[in-house]
Amino acid sequence: MAEITDPVQKQAGKAATEWLIRLQEDPENLELQARFADWCAEDPAHLDAWNATQKTADLMANAKPSGTADWQAFLDARREAGDKGGAHGQQNDAVAALLNIDYEKAVAEGKVISAQTQFQKRGNMSWRGIGLGGVAVAASLVAAIIGPDIATHMQADHVTSTGEMRTITLSDNSTVTLAPESAITVHFDGSTRFVELLDGEAFFDVTPDPQKPFRVGADEVMVTVLGTGFDVSEGNAVSMVGVEHGRVQVENAANVPAVFEILEAGQNVRVGQDGTVIRHPSPTSQIGAWRKNQLIAQDQPLSEVVDQLRCYFKGTILITDEVLAAQTVTGVYRLDDPVTALRGMARAQKATVREITPWVLVVSKS
């Protein structure tokens, strides 16, 4: 089964994820544990969803940093599971194969406590005994859901969550529009206007002030303007700057040789931490197109385009192998419907999007 379409199953999967987070946040709350046990006992679908959520969380915790894992074993297991226990049975068998475990044997040996046992224990159940990997599992799932790193949140002045856009008016009447999962700090004083992009992407519309140049920092890149509208993004060892109107100066003194570029309206530059600099023109209507919920890809690797899509999807997107990830994508996709956008990208690559839970999508060759 390629995806979960039954609304009851989807709702159970969402509820299981919420229970995982609640139990991790308050592990000693016996009343909460009792309510969780009642929820598990209400419907067999709840128990199936809980088991699948535990295993999927462990999948994310153990995935390789590149987002790849032994996906061939995973896909083979799903194909072979065709008549085993329905949709949830197939999902559980497949994830167990990926994790290289015998789930029932692990339960029998006491290495994994099943949800059935958990709700039977009721009052004396402890979160420390729940599921695969305990708190580490919950932490991996929470990290996938909450977006930018918590340390970034703590130092930022303004942040956005998954799927959220926000426009901030600064004290000089300049505006900053933050893309989802983005964060900035603002440093304004008598002689300085400086904004640091800590994570994500932002569009700046700057009020001119010749006495106080407006600067934006993104990793090692520094952008200086006198009055303009421009987009800056940062991630995957690359900083990108595009100008909608006006003129900016882009520098990176840390590169050898140092980067010094002047951009005008309709121009973009990509500056890599390895010193690469790529300039290319773009229609001004495409600069910061995300503000109109558009993702525009032009001969970009699938992995790079999916990275842009991830901050609009409240879950995890995994690509099965590096060859598929490197294939190029061209097209215009809707950011307000990230699942449909991902399926469109996959079709162009003759690939398939499989829904493991409502919160985990896997892109693989058909």
Does the residue 1 lie in any domain? Answer: no
> Based on the domain organization, do 30 and 108 belong to the same domain?
yes
3-state secondary structure of 186: strand
- The mean predicted confidence, pLDDT, of the chain is 74
Q: Are the C-beta atoms of residues 166 and 177 closer than 8 Å to each other?
A: yes
* Neighbour count for residue 287 (Cβ, 10 Å): 22
> What's the start-to-end Cα distance of the chain, in Å?
13
- Please tell me the distance from the alpha carbon of residue 168 to that of residue 183, in angstroms, as a whole number: 12
What digits encode the pLDDT tens for the residues 155-171?
A: 889 999 889 999 999 99
* pLDDT above 80 (res 319): yes
By residue range, what is the domain housing residue 329?
294-365
Alpha helices (runs of H) in the chain, residue ranges in sequence order: 7-25, 30-42, 44-62, 71-80, 86-98, 103-108, 115-121, 135-146, 150-155, 302-310, 322-326, 338-348
DSSP 352: E
| Residue for token pair 């969803």 | 49
Give yes or no: residues 45 and 115 share one domain.
yes
Same domain, 195 and 212: yes
43 plus 164 within the same structural domain: no
> 313 with 249, same domain?
no
Contact 315, 181 (CB under 8 A): no
Q: Which residue type, as a one-letter code, is found at position 244?
A: E
Which pLDDT belongs to residue 127? 31
Same domain (yes/no): 82, 207? no
On whether residue 269 sits in a domain, the answer given is yes
Cα–Cα distance for residue pair 67/44, rounded to 1 Å: 32
Which has more confidence, 188 or 153? 188
Query: For residue 130, is it within any domain?
Result: yes
**CA–CA gap between residue 11 and residue 7 (Å, rounded):** 6
The answer to whether residues 196 and 187 touch, using CB atoms and an 8 Å cutoff, is yes
Q: Pick the last residue of a domain from 255, 290, 325.
A: 290
Pairwise CA distance, residues 59 & 61, whole Å: 5
Confidence at residue 205, expressed as pLDDT on a 0 to 100 scale: 95
Predicted confidence band at 96 (pLDDT cuts at 50, 70, 90)?
very low
Contact indicator for 186, 193 with CB cutoff of 8 Å: no
Q: In the listed set 146, 164, 197, which residue is the last one of a domain according to the structure?
A: 146
pLDDT tens string 198-243: 999 999 999 988 888 999 999 889 999 866 899 999 877 788 999 9
Same domain, yes or no, for 138 and 163?
no
pLDDT band at 122 (very low <50, low <70, confident <90, very high): very low
Whether residues 184 and 282 fall in one domain: yes
Rounded to an integer, what distance in angstroms lies between the CA atom of residue 161 and that of residue 148? Answer: 8
Same domain, yes or no: 52 and 120: yes
Which of 59-73, 218-232, 322-336 has the weakest average pLDDT?
A: 59-73
The candidate with the shortest Cα–Cα distance to 324, out of 149, 84, 67, is 67
Same domain, yes or no, for 58 and 129? yes
pLDDT digits (tens, 9 = 90+) for 38-63: 888 888 888 888 877 766 565 555 54
Q: What is the pLDDT of residue 6?
A: 59
Mean pLDDT of 331-352: 94
Give pLDDT tens digits for 278-297: 898 888 988 999 999 999 99
Last residue of a domain, one of 223, 256, 290: 290
271 and 301 assigned to the same domain: no
What is the domain-level CATH number for residue 311? 3.55.50.30
| Dist CA 320 CA 142 (whole Å) | 22
Total domains present in the chain:
3
